[in-house]
Amino acid sequence: MKYTLTVLVENQPGVLSKVVSLFARRGYNIDSLAVGTSEDPAVSRMTIVGEGDAGIIEQVEKQLNKIIPVIKVRRLGAAGEFTSCELMLVKIDNRNIAEINGIVELMKAEVVGVTKNSLTIRYAGDHEKCETLYSLLKPYGIREVARSGSIAIETT
């Protein structure tokens, strides 16, 4: 079962390594992890997407709570709706520029760089949409791709 956790932590050195080493040593996998500031400059917000059964998810939450600089752990979707978003940058061969442009327009992505041989496309959307765009672009010769971890927030 896929789960998304948002973890509020004190903004101090070493917190990220404490969180990551917890996942590593207890054998929990992380699909993606994103860290950034929150509305409070003293607090950072981590979004962790992982996979595990109910027992593992419960342990992950409890073990995270034991880390002293961890202030709050919330499992998104447990109570109410949430929205999530990833950022993707794709550098692609531009021989089929018209067709690529069509896909870019269809997906509401954005061309942010053009050279003689390549196009760079920026896209923000949930994980599935990023996957869709990626597979649409793939046949045209992707040269490089950079993807961020997912960030998420409750909407209710």
Partner 1 sequence: MKKINGAEIMVKCLQQEGVDIVFGYPGAAICPFYDAIYDSGIRHVLVRQEQNAAHMASGYARSLSRPAVCTATSGPGATNLITGIATAYMDSIPIIAITGQVNLEQLGRDSFQEADITGACESFTKHSYLVKNVADIPRVMKEAFHIASTGRPGPVLIDIPEEVQLAKAGQFHYPEKPDIIGYKPTTAGHPMQIKRALQAIRAAKRPIVCCGGGVVLANARDEMIRFVKNSGAPVVATMMGIGVLPMHSPTYLGMIGRHGRSYANRAIREADLVILCGARVGDRAIAMPGQIAERATVIHVDVDPAEIGKNMRVDIPIVGDVKAVLTALAEKAEPGDIEPWLEVVSEYKRSYRPHGKDRSDFVEPRSFIRGLSALMEENAILVSDVGQSQIWAARNFSQKEGRFLTSGGLGTMGYALPAAIGAKLAKPGRQVVAVCGDGAFQMSLCEMATAVACGIPLKLIVMDNKRLGMVREVQNKLYGNRHSGTHMDGNPDFVKLCEAYGIPANRASGNKQALQFAEEMLHSDGPYALICAVDPETPTI
Q: For partner 1, which stretch binds (CB under 8 A), given 68-76, 79-87, 117-125, 147-155? A: 68-76
Q: For partner 1, which stretch binds (CB under 8 A), given 17-25, 28-36, 123-131, 135-143? A: 17-25
Distance CA 87, CA 24 (A): 25
Q: 74, 4, 76: which is closest to 34 by C-alpha?
A: 4
Decide if 112 contacts 122 (C-beta within 8 A): yes
Q: For partner 1, which stretch binds (CB under 8 A), given 20-28, 96-104, 123-131, 142-150? A: 20-28
Minimum CB separation of residue 25 from partner 1 in Å reads 5
Minimum CB separation of residue 71 from partner 1 in Å reads 4
Nearer to partner 1, 65 or 117 (CB): 65
Helix (H, G, I), strand (E, B) or coil at 64: helix
Minimum CB separation of residue 65 from partner 1 in Å reads 7
Structure tokens at 123: 């896209």
Residue of the chain from 16, 29, 58, 153 that contacts partner 1 (CB under 8 A): 58
**Which DSSP string do the residues of 73-141 spell out, in sequence order?**
EEETTSSS-EEEEEEEEEEEE-TTHHHHHHHHHHHT-EEEEE-SSEEEEEEEE-HHHHHHHHHHHGGGT
Minimum CB separation of residue 4 from partner 1 in Å reads 20
Other Cβ atoms less than 10 A from the Cβ of 88: the count is 21
Distance CA 138, CA 155 (A): 33
Looking only at residues 71 through 130 of this chain, which bind partner 1 when binding is defined by CB under 8 A?
A: 71-72
Q: Which residues bind partner 1 (CB under 8 A)?
A: 9-10, 13-14, 17-18, 21-22, 25, 55, 58-59, 62-63, 65-72
